[in-house]
Structure 1
Amino acid sequence: MLRTARLAVLTLYRQNHSTGCRRIHTSRIFSCSKQDSGENEETSSSSDEAFEEEYTNDGVEQIRLEILSASLPFVHTDGWSENAIAQGAESLGYSGMAHGMFPDGGVELVNYFYRICNGKLEEILKEKVIQNEESPQLKQGTTAFIRDAVEIRLRMNIDYLDHWPQAMALHAAPSNINEGLLNVGTLVDHIWYYAGDRSHDFNWYTKRGLLFGVYKTTELCMVQDKSPDFEDTWSFLDRRLSDVSNVAKAVKYANSASKDVHNILQAGIVSALNIVGLNRKSR
């Protein structure tokens, strides 16, 4: 059924996105300019198949991204679900059965939303770094930079906040948890990198692990917050960052006080972060 859905959508893709420059045939791909001029170019079957396979894979992936993007407005009524994806597909003129291209269901829509939001945040942080370089007198301290980055990212969830507990629940499912943790791991890595962190030792893990906890607890606070403009959430965020600062100082003291304890803790924490994917540095 999944294969049938993919082939059906790909057929529509070829029909709706065809150009005058290239036609796809069952067994061969011909350049229109060469065909119209009467040239007969012999190419190997293996080359044709490889090119067509690449085109097909790219075409299917492009359709998937288009459908996921079109599905986001339907989250407001149908949540992070296959039904939202089906409606997104139909809004583009595809069959509602195209949701078969997403075997993991609604969590694929959640992951797509996470990726585009993380990408947007990264662009914002890049711009802030450029502005800081151009106007050093306006440069924020590290904690203020991180605090603003977390708020910016969490505000991207506001339009979908009514259904965000469902998104969190999907990520908490055993089959989805690794991808969910990796999404947040990428987020906190971006924040620390653009805040100026270039550590390559145990501090890399410590900083990202602590910020991971800050982000997730603040996210949980936000879905329950009824205060104007989420004032209680931002106050909670400030307190958590203050706590993290105190923890970091305590860890630093513990490291200098007991090297053996530090080594044991380091081995355990690194192993845990390896399991959830937080060791995948983006730089």
Structure 2
Amino acid sequence: MTEQSPAMRVLEAALPHVPFDGWSDATLKAALTDSGIDPALGAALFPRGPLDLALAYHRKGDACMVARLADMDLGSLRFRDRIAAAVMARLDLVEDKELVRRGTTFFALPHNAAEGGKAIWGTADAIWTALGDTSDDLNWYSKRATLSAVYSATVLFWLGDDSPGQQNTREFLDRRIENVMQFEKLKAGLQANPLTRALLAGPMKLLSGIRAPHRPDDLPGTMKDPL
């Protein structure tokens, strides 16, 4: 059995406390005590305290989702159904909805909202990457922005869903994806119209220079995920 990293030990020890104390200093302190990790090491692993702890939990979920998607046979599905399967795979991995509910409240705080938005974007990026997206232009951003909105709305619905097998959530997600598909059809129709295409020629030329970010992960001083 592979030995858990110190950060993973702290995170695992924190989970039973989150439903009662939220993603808080109290939870982190209790997790350090329960895991036997020295507080000084804990401060180094989670320099921003509960914020880094909550983000570590979210990233762990993303990583597990990517692993699950790699084992799933999605090739026979329509692309919209692959997206839906990926989102539901991410939600199905959650062992206790209260962990996410507490996280939603935590990231709704003004000083945590930016990091919460980045976390959702990271999930959308992980899904698109796992499904083989190769876009390198404006579409790279628009795909992730759209999926981030769909995912966020679905999570909020899912938190209150007690239907068998989360069927209501699956239907809600399908409707949100259908809304996106209708918008894409409208956009394609506008782009096919000669008059609209002429009017958008200038802005589209400017936007054509946008490229997806490329950042080497082996730069000196780059912090790796502590998990």
TM-score, normalised via structure 2 length? 0.76
Match of 1:256 in 2: 192
Contact 1:225–1:233 (Cα < 8 Å) also in 2: yes
User: Over aligned residue pairs, what C-alpha RMSD do you find?
Assistant: 3.1
Map Cα deviations across residues 60-95 of structure 1 (whole Å, 9 max, x no partner). Answer: xx5444322321222233222222211211112346
> Is 1:222 matched with 2:162?
no
Distance 1:267 1:227, change over 3 A: farther
Which letter does structure 2 place at the counterpart of 1:197? D
Shift of 1:113: 0.8
> Is 1:78 matched with 2:21?
yes
Q: Structure 1, unaligned stretches of length 5 or more? A: 1-61, 133-137
**Aligned partners of 1:266, 1:152: CA distance in 2, in Å?**
38
Shift of 1:115: 0.6
Residue of 55, 64, 67 corresponding to 1:120: 64
**Aligned partners of 1:127, 1:84: CA distance in 2, in Å?**
34
Match of 2:49 in 1: 105
Contact 1:202–1:266 (Cα < 8 Å) also in 2: no
Contact 1:67–1:92 (Cα < 8 Å) also in 2: yes
**Aligned partners of 2:201, 2:148: CA distance in 1, in Å?**
21
**Aligned partners of 2:101, 2:201: CA distance in 1, in Å?**
37
Match of 1:195 in 2: 131
Shift of 1:98: 7.1
Match of 1:87 in 2: 30
The correspondence of residues 1-283 of structure 1 with structure 2, limited to 5 A, is: 63-94=6-37, 102-128=46-72, 131=73, 139-157=76-94, 159-257=95-193, 258-259=196-197, 260-261=199-200, 264=203, 280=213
Map Cα deviations across residues 89-137 of structure 1 (whole Å, 9 max, x no partner). Answer: 1112346787655453322222011111111111122233xx56xxxxx
Tell me which of the two structures has the higher relative contact order, counting C-alpha pairs closer than 8 angstroms and 6 or more residues apart.
2
Contact 1:254–1:262 (Cα < 8 Å) also in 2: no
Which letter does structure 2 place at the counterpart of 1:247? F
Shift of 1:147: 0.6
**Aligned partners of 1:127, 1:204: CA distance in 2, in Å?**
25
Of stretches 92-101 and 204-213 in structure 1, the one that deviates more from structure 2 is 92-101
Map Cα deviations across residues 198-239 of structure 1 (whole Å, 9 max, x no partner). Answer: 122222222222111110000111112232332211110011
Shift of 1:261: 4.0
**Aligned partners of 1:125, 1:266: CA distance in 2, in Å?**
36
Map Cα deviations across residues 123-174 of structure 1 (whole Å, 9 max, x no partner). Answer: 122233xx56xxxxx62221111111000101223x3313433311322333
Structure whose alpha-carbon radius of gyration is higher: 1
Contact 1:68–1:109 (Cα < 8 Å) also in 2: yes
Contact 1:111–1:183 (Cα < 8 Å) also in 2: yes
Give the match's secondary structure for 1:73.
Answer: coil
**Aligned partners of 1:174, 1:280: CA distance in 2, in Å?**
27
**Aligned partners of 1:251, 1:233: CA distance in 2, in Å?**
27
**Structure 1 or 2: larger helix share?**
1
